[in-house]
Every structure is written in structure tokens, then in C-alpha cells.
């Protein structure tokens, strides 16, 4: 798929993986709508060229529909959706603090899984109305899971369940949307050096990097963005979950 001259929606676009993806797509000539929560957009500061922010909770049907509704019907068609918005709660099923909070589990599912599904369904509906390209393709959806979907650690039961759901949706979603000419793929990152990890301190980040086979370092958000570009442009990639983890297999803790 040609990136230049399309519209793209990126969730979680005010920081981390989403911000990197939004910048990369805009840099390649896409018109990007970056969805995020109002507080995150406020913290983001300057808006990158080619990106405009829209305040939205990805789990809200009204919020996402409203954001997509701001697309200019005479402007570039929506061809790409990248789901990066997510939360990463940590809690054991049972610990000295008590039993796992049900609302914490529910929130992980709501944002990471339902939010991804919500954006995917609404973006796919918009793409399905677009004219196909020469190969019959109308759009691409790229979701974000995590290697926790496969190697969930102690304390990651809610997070792993939500990301495992994203992985499980990938193939059936690709099959559902095949007749509309829309591809669906998922990226499962390992440990990425995002602002969330920056708060852990240098010593903790170095300890995390020691378990990574090669390269023995944390991933850069721009490497995630590079993979987004590759998936968008590689027309034969469909229904796949791609691990971006430097051969890391997470230990129990």
C-alpha cells in the first residue's frame, strides 16, 4: 500500500509507540489523526507536522466515531489504522495485599482489547467505503499486542489476557475483512524504551536489557514505527502476529 497521500488513524498517539508511529507516517506523507486521552494530548506539547490530535477514549464508540467523522470527505481516504493505546496493570491473582481487583482486570480488557476492537471495526467500516487500489486493496489495520500474550509474567494476568485477545483476533479479523480488501496484522513488541519505562530508573532498565539475547538493549519506539511502515507497504502480509523482541522469551518474573 502506498502511504503517501492517505489518511491514517493512530491511537495512543501522544506518547510512546503511538507517537513514533504517527511521526513516521506523517513523515512519509500520510495525513494522521492521533487519538489519545485529553490529559495525554496536553502533556504531549507540540504537535508533529502532518499530525492532528483528537481527544478520544478508544473504548468509547461515540468518541472514536466522532474522531473519524472529522475526516474530510473530499480529502485523503482513510487507508490505515494503527492501534497503540493501552494500559499495563500489574497484580497477582492473590497476594499479601489480597485478591486481584476485578475492576483492574476489567479496565485492562476494556482499553487493550475492547478499545482495539472498537477502533478496528469503525476504521474498517470507513475503509470499506473507499475505492480499491489497483490490487483491490482498501486499507490496512495494525494492532499492538505484546510478548506477554505468549510469555506472561507473574503479575501480568490481566495484561496478558488482554493482549492475548488481540493476538487471537488477528486471523479471524483478517478473514472477515478479506472480501473488503483490508489486511489485518499485529505487532507483539518486547521491552520498548517508552516514557513508561523511563520512570523505572536506569538501573532497572539495564537489568531488563540483560535478559535480551541480541541486540542486548531495549527496543526503540522508532523501530516499532519502522515495522508499522513495513507492514503497511508489504501487501502480502495478512493475518500475522509479528514478534519484535530480539529473541526474548520472558521468564516467570
Residue 228 has pLDDT above 70, yes or no: yes
- When mean pLDDT is compared across 75-84, 143-152, 221-230, 244-253, the lowest value belongs to 244-253
Instruction: Indicate the DSSP class of residue 178.
Output: G
pLDDT computed for residue 199 by the predictor: 62
- When mean pLDDT is compared across 16-20, 146-150, 195-199, 237-241, the lowest value belongs to 195-199
* Stretch 133-145: mean pLDDT: 96
pLDDT computed for residue 209 by the predictor: 85
The pTM score is 0.95
Question: Catalytic pick from 53, 159, 224, 236?
Answer: 159
Q: How confident is the model at residue 146 (pLDDT cuts 50, 70, 90)?
A: very high
Residue 162 has pLDDT above 80, yes or no: yes
* Stretch 163-172: mean pLDDT: 98
- When mean pLDDT is compared across 38-52, 103-117, 163-177, 230-244, the lowest value belongs to 38-52
> Residue 83: which of 123, 50, 54 has the closest Cα?
123
> Residue 119: which of 164, 184, 172, 171 has the closest Cα?
184
Q: Which helix (H) or strand (E) holds 53?
A: strand 51-55
- 34-69 pLDDT tens trace: 999 999 999 998 899 999 999 999 999 999 999 999
pLDDT computed for residue 210 by the predictor: 86
All three cell numbers of 19? 507517537
Instruction: Indicate the DSSP class of residue 215.
Output: S
For the chain, the domains span 7-244
Q: How confident is the model at residue 251 (pLDDT cuts 50, 70, 90)?
A: confident
- 86-136 pLDDT tens trace: 999 999 999 999 999 999 999 999 999 999 999 999 999 999 999 999 899
pLDDT computed for residue 197 by the predictor: 73
The DSSP result for the chain, as a single string, is ---TT-EEEEETTTSHHHHHHHHHHHHTT-EEEEEE-HHHHHHH-SPPTTEEEEE--TT-HHHHHHHHTTS-TTSPPEEEEE--------B-SEETTEEPPHHHHHHHIIIIIIHHHHHHHHHHHHHHTSPP-TTS--EEEEEE--THHHHPPTTBHHHHHHHHHHHHHHHHHHHHHGGGTEEEEEEEE-SB--HHHHTT-HHHHHHHHHT--SS-SPBPHHHHHHHHHHHHH-TT--S-EEEESTT------
How is domain 7-244 classified at the CATH fold level? Rossmann fold (3.40.50)
- Per the annotation, the verdict on 159 as an active-site residue is yes
pLDDT computed for residue 181 by the predictor: 98
Residue 195 has pLDDT above 80, yes or no: no
- Which one is predicted more confidently, 17 or 252? 17
Residue 200 has pLDDT above 70, yes or no: no
Amino acid at each position: 500500500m502506498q502511504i503517501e497521500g492517505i489518511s491514517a488513524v493512530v491511537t495512543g498517539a501522544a506518547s510512546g509507540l503511538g507517537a513514533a508511529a504517527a511521526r513516521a507516517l506523517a513523515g512519509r506523507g500520510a495525513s494522521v489523526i492521533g487519538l489519545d486521552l485529553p490529559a495525554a494530548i496536553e502533556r504531549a506539547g507540540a504537535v508533529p507536522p502532518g499530525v492532528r490530535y483528537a481527544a478520544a477514549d478508544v473504548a468509547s464508540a461515540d468518541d472514536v466515531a466522532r474522531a473519524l467523522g472529522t475526516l474530510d470527505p473530499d480529502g485523503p481516504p482513510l487507508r490505515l489504522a494503527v492501534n497503540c493505546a493501552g494500559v499495563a496493570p500489574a497484580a497477582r491473582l492473590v497476594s499479601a495485599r489480597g485478591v486481584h481487583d476485578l475492576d483492574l482486570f476489567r479496565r485492562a480488557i476494556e482499553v487493550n482489547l475492547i478499545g482495539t476492537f472498537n477502533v478496528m471495526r469503525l476504521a474498517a467500516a470507513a475503509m470499506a467505503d473507499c475505492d480499491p487500489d489497483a490490487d483491490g486493496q482498501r486499507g490496512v489495520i495494525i494492532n499492538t499486542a505484546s510478548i506477554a500474550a505468549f510469555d506472561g509474567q507473574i503479575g501480568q494476568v490481566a495484561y496478558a489476557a488482554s493482549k492475548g485477545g488481540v493476538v487471537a483476533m488477528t486471523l479471524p479479523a483478517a478473514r472477515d475483512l478479506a472480501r473488503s480488501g483490508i489486511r489485518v496484522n499485529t505487532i507483539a513488541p518486547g521491552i520498548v524504551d517508552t516514557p513508561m519505562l523511563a520512570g523505572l530508573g536506569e538501573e532497572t532498565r539495564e537489568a531488563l536489557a540483560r535478559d535480551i539475547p541480541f541486540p542486548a538493549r531495549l527496543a526503540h519506539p522508532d523501530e516499532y514505527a519502522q515495522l508499522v511502515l513495513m507492514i503497511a507497504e508489504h501487501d502480502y502480509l495478512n493475518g500475522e502476529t509479528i514478534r519484535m523482541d530480539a529473541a526474548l522469551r520472558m521468564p516467570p518474573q
